[in-house]
Structure 1
Amino acid sequence: MARRRIGMREICCSPKSSSKSDGPNSPSTSLFSSPSRFSFSPSRPSFSDSVMNRTLEMAEPMIMKWDPNSTNYAKVTSLFYESRGEANEFIKCVYNLQKAMHFHSMENSKSDKLVRAQSLMQVAVKRLQKEFYQILSMNRAHLDPESITTVSSRTSARSSLSEFEDEEEDDRIVVVAGESISEVEDVSNVAMADLRLIAECMISSGYAKECVKIYKVIRKSIIDEAIYRLDVEKLSSSQVHKMDWEVLDLKIKDWLRAADVAVKILFNGERILCDHVFLSNDSIRESCFTEISKDGSMILFSFPEIVAKNCKKSPEKVFRLLDMYTAIAEHWPEIEAIFSSDSESVIRSQALTSHDKLGESIRTALAEFETVLQKESSKTPIAGGGIHHLTVDVMDYVTLLADYSNVLSDILAESPPPAKGSLPESYFGIADTDESPAPAISLRFAWLILILLCKLDGKAKHYKDASFAYLFLANNLRYIIVKVRSSNLKYLLGENWISKHEEKVKQFASNYERLGWSHVIESVPREPNASMAPQQVKEIFKRFNSSFEQAHRKHSMCVVSDSYLRDELKVSIAEKILPAYREFYNKHRNTIIKERHSAHVVRFSPEDVAHQLSDLFFGPIELERCLSFEFSPSR
């Protein structure tokens, strides 16, 4: 109250001045030039009458000049565009008129002067409404959310509230607007400053409802149009349920792009603008933003919940659900900050509900994946001991899941991990100790791969030739290791896991060599340089020819797609055969070559053997896969 009385004294008692340099709250609005005019006299007007008379004298010419119904000039011209200095004077007149009316009404609420002032105030407010509407509508391009987020921030708007909270209300508005106009040339900042100047004047004068109505209509249309242009539409549960996955997948992709733009730019920019324009009134600011943003934000944040509830639960769809879950999780701090008031709790609640429903659907899809994997029962061996389509599909799926390991940790936090007893004792390395237990999410990935390895062990038993079974296991385990090393699985499973399984690949490869090539290796004497009878030499050559031809013919069907494993196998086999055979060949070839039909006895030179070994493991033709696993991961 003390501050109000001081302000009134300034209006009434300051010396009159017509200096053009006077600010909006300068003494130029003083009602009297000398304190002697306030001396008490029964015949003179009361103090409030004097205040009202002087205020009307100062305000009426300015306000009537800009009455939209008075002249064509006032009707078509923008006050704020035409003269910002005059606009400030106009705002100052409205403030003074409102104060004088308030002061005068305490003495005489039915005064003719009060009626006149009220009529004048209505004219002024119509002008301000017109200006407010024009600035909002004509500056749509400069007040779009992207421009707003570029030139301002919600934090700066909040901080400016505390910066000026100790100053006179009317002084604060004009100073802030003046600084914005004089210091910042950007059109967006100028428009924002003008809107705030008008809004605070109208709110202070009791016309908040009229101001807010204009703001809501224009700004809500901008948000609704933006949501539509972002291809986010309101869908019912039945519409989503009936939708083909290809169509729904496209809509989810649209939503993912839209969510990023809507949160970072659209709603954030609108929040900044609303905070700036209605800085002086918390309740108006919050209710206004809520009404503007509620419809669009509810459409945006309800879509994931509808998808989670109504799309068919299958493993390949989990990645779209994970993308939406991740989007909400990543944007949650921004969502909380933008929709922070109690009136916006329904929006936050909807975003959280979608987040939770997505988590439930993801858990269901992962459980379905594990069930499908455990039930897979194809028995037809892969030709040439190559990589099984189950290995390819499962590892593609699991490596993609590993990209979401952080959010999966949250999603699966309440689901019990596989029991350690279900994993082999040495399945994990350094991570699986009492001092440093393996993370739950790592155990889950290890469990899925273990199920795959068990399935592959079962499929290896369907090979009639044991050497092919071991080559099959070596091929598939090598493929798994390569996928682990080249993905986030490397960090989840650890180097010890990889090292242990690389050792298993070597064991499988060694068993393949032993079972598939031992009869060739053993056909050459352990002491190839020892003296032998011609007949014995002949028998050894024949035995080598037969065993090598048989092994090469059978194993030329084998396929090893991994170049490292293929080279390792060829080098290892060659090292076990070639040195001994070369020594034997060089030592005893001349013994046979003199005989008749020697070409039928000595059929392979060491170079011939080397060439034929180098051609192994490419397979005779491109092998076709017959996919029988019930899902194929896609993104």
Structure 2
Amino acid sequence: MAMADLKAIADCMISSGYGRECVKIYKTIRKSIVDESLYHLGVERQISLSHLQKMDWEMVELKIKTWLNAVKVAVKTLFYGERILCDHVFSASDSIRESCFSEISKEGALILFGFPETVAKCKKTPEKMFRTLDLYEAISDLLPEIQSIFSYESTSTVRSQAINSLIKLGDAVRTMLTDFETAIQKDPSKATVPGGGVHPLTRYVMNYISLLADYSDALADIVADWPLNLQTPLPESYFGSPSELDDSPVSVRFAWLVLVLLCKLDGKAELYKDVALSYLFLANNLQYVVAKVRSSNLKLFLGDDWVNKHELKVKQYASNYERMGWSKVISSLPEDPTAEISPDQARDCYKKFGAAFEEAYKKQSSWVVPDPKLRDEIKVSVARKLGAAYGNFYEKNRGGPGSFVKFAPDDLGNYLSDLFYGNGSTGSVSSHSSGIRGH
């Protein structure tokens, strides 16, 4: 009814020769309403780049959050409603309704859609990636409506501003992705993680990438025409079965970032003086990577083959740890534990085995395996291998050697159960009460 009344008034004034006065009053009143509505939505007057760069990022984030809420209301309700109202009230004249809508909405719209471009021009840091993607998604999602509402030639600058902001945001994301990759490659930390645990770089990178995977649609647009410049292509073996490989630009980009991390971790593993610990470090970190991929949208891009292949790699690292960490203990026993040997030889084997086991146990008491499943798998595997060799030897030579028998076969599992928690408090087998000493 209000729209019908306004149209009737406008038609009457225009037909009576007061068209200019009608349009002037309409523009003045409606523009003030639009400007006031934008103000209440939290849309500030044009914020300069220098002013924005002086703000703490937390303050900029608050402004971005306000803008994200405001832009949806502004496009879907405020500008959309204003366009409908202008088209209805001045339906008798195309030129008048275009002129009215342009003058009423153009200034506010340019301020609204100019804000993301200003943000995109700010200094690029990894922490700004996700808010930049939020801005990109918001404009990208609303762009069809923006182009429809501001379809007049006189509002072409509004359409151009929205598209330009989208382009600048995309450029900013590409810059930050490049900087992120470079930061991984140049990570300067030389300190080893105590106990071979998960490196802070692994946690940071995988948490970051898994969050990026939540912006897959926006990233797909941004990297679509931005090929990954590699000296050599990613090996097919890195993905798994080529027939199931999703070789979209965004999938390749994710695969590459993870590969850059894994290569960096290989270098950090070399910082450990103990080879067994270096393999445990690789197993722990790759397990963390695989778990992150499996539990996030990254799995949609890297695929099941990638996950399965790298889970096998975790098992290989764990197997290498077992071989290097317990070979001295196992080699202290005869190659054939069931072979006939003299009591003196048996006593000597018991002494060597006890000393080697104590040494390995003490050294590894501060080592860690954070993932419960991997921890149990390694313990079971080590216990099975040690138990098989030592159990056969013990059964064959359980009489005679006397006080040199420090462990019963069942004791080994008890000692191993304390490993990989990294507390180091069980660093000596003497902390256990052995029911077999002096047996």
TM-score (norm 2): 0.90
Unmatched segments (≥5 aa) in structure 2: 426-439
Answer yes or no: is 1:258 the counterpart of 2:67. Answer: no
Which residue of structure 2 aligns with residue 449 of structure 1?
A: 258
Q: Which residue of 2 aligns with 1:554?
A: 363
Q: 2:423 aligns with which of 617, 620, 631?
A: 620
What do residues 438-480 of structure 1 show as CA deviations (whole Å, max 9, x unaligned)? 1122222222222111111111111111111111111111111
Determine the C-alpha separation between the residues in 2 that align with 1:238 and 1:461: 45
Could you tell me how far apart the structure 2 residues matched to 1:458 and 1:432 are? 32
Instruction: Please say if 1:462 is aligned against 2:267.
Output: no
Aligned residue number for residue 288 of structure 1: 100
SS of match in other structure, 1:403: helix
Listed one character per residue, the Cα deviations across residues 225-271 of structure 1 (whole Å, up to 9, x for unaligned) are 12112222121222123222222122112111111221122212222
- Which residue in 2 is equivalent to 1:541? 350
Give 1:475's aligned residue: 284
Q: Distance in 1 between matches of 2:275 and 2:5?
A: 85
Partner of 1:40: none
Residue type of the alignment partner of 1:429: G
Alignment of 1:218 onto 2:29 = yes
Q: Counterpart amino acid of 2:415?
A: Q
Deviation at 1:560, TM superposition (A): 0.9
The equivalent residue for 1:55 is none
CA–CA distance in structure 2, aligned partners of residues 202 and 265 of structure 1? 28
The one-letter code of the counterpart of 1:446 is: A
| Deviation (angstroms), 1:365 | 1.6
Q: Distance in 2 between matches of 1:194 and 1:617?
A: 79
| Conservation of the 8 A alpha-carbon contact between 2:255 and 2:302 | yes
Match of 2:232 among 417, 421, 425: 421
| Matched residue type, 1:376 | D
> Which stretch of structure 1 is more off in the superposition, 582-591 or 323-332?
582-591
Amino acid at match of 1:427: Y
Q: Which residue of 1 aligns with 2:180?
A: 369
Give the Cα separation in 1 of the matches to 2:239 and 2:417: 37
Deviation at 1:525, TM superposition (A): 4.2
1:418–1:443 contact (8 Å) kept in structure 2: no
**Residue 567 of structure 1: which of 350, 357, 376 is its match?**
376
Map 1:323-402 onto structure 2 (within 5 A).
323-402=134-213
- Given that 2:379 and 2:416 are in contact with CA atoms closer than 8 Å, whether structure 1 keeps it comes out as yes
Structure 1 CA distance for aligned equivalents of residues 256 and 109 of structure 2? 40
Q: Distance in 2 between matches of 1:321 and 1:432?
A: 35
- TM-aligned CA distance change 1:437 to 1:580, over 3 Å: closer
Match of 1:485 among 281, 294, 301: 294
Contact 1:418 1:447 in 2 (8 A): no
With a CA cutoff of 8 Å and minimum separation of 6, indicate the structure with the bigger relative contact order. 2
Is the CA contact (8 Å cut-off) linking 2:246 and 2:302 kept in structure 1? no
How far apart are 1:329 and its partner, in Å? Answer: 0.5
Residue in 2 aligned with 1:519?
Answer: 328
Contact kept in structure 1, 2:184 and 2:260, CA below 8 Å: yes
Matched ranges for 1:72-471 at <5 A: 190-234=1-45, 235-309=47-121, 311-419=122-230, 421-431=232-242, 438-471=247-280
CA contact (8 A) 2:365 2:424 kept: no
Aligned amino acid, residue 141 of structure 2: E
Match of 1:605 among 386, 408, 411: 408
Distance 2:304 2:236 in 1: 17
CA distance in 2, matches of 1:211, 1:563: 76
Q: Which digits, 9 at most, give the CA deviation of each residue in 1:352-380, with x for residues without a partner?
A: 11111111222222222222222223222
- Worse-superposed segment, 198-207 or 292-301: 198-207
TM-score between the two structures when normalised by the length of structure 1: 0.63
User: Counterparts of 1:378 and 1:586 in 2: how far apart (Å)?
Assistant: 50
Residues 25-79 of structure 1: CA distance to partner in whole angstroms, max 9, x if unpaired? xxxxxxxxxxxxxxxxxxxxxxxxxxxxxxxxxxxxxxxxxxxxxxxxxxxxxxx
CA–CA separation in structure 2 for the residues paired with 1:621 and 1:342: 74
Distance in 1, matches of 2:198 and 2:181, equals 20
User: Structure 1 counterpart of 2:167, which letter?
Assistant: D
Identity of counterpart residues, as a percentage?
A: 59
Residues 466 and 515 of structure 1 are in contact (CA less than 8 Å); yes or no, is this contact kept in structure 2? yes
> What is the rounded CA distance, in whole Å, between the counterparts of 1:200 and 1:587 in structure 2?
111
Alpha-carbon distance in 2 for matches of 1:586, 1:567: 27
Partner SS for 2:238: coil
Q: How many residues were matched structurally?
A: 424
User: Structure 1: 5+ residue runs without aligned partners?
Assistant: 1-189, 623-635
1:507 is aligned to 2:323: no
8 Å Cα contact 1:520-1:547 kept in structure 2: yes
Distance in 1 (alpha carbons) for counterparts of 2:162 and 2:424: 54
Report the RMSD for the aligned CA atoms in angstroms: 2.3
Structure number with greater Rg is 1
Task: Give the whole-Å Cα distance in 1 for the aligned partners of 2:424 and 2:222.
Answer: 45
1:418–1:444 contact (8 Å) kept in structure 2: no
Contact 1:394 1:452 (8 Å CA) reproduced: yes
Is the 1:470–1:512 contact (alpha carbons within 8 Å) kept by the matching residues of 2?
A: yes
Measure the CA separation in 2 of the matches of 1:282 and 1:567. 76
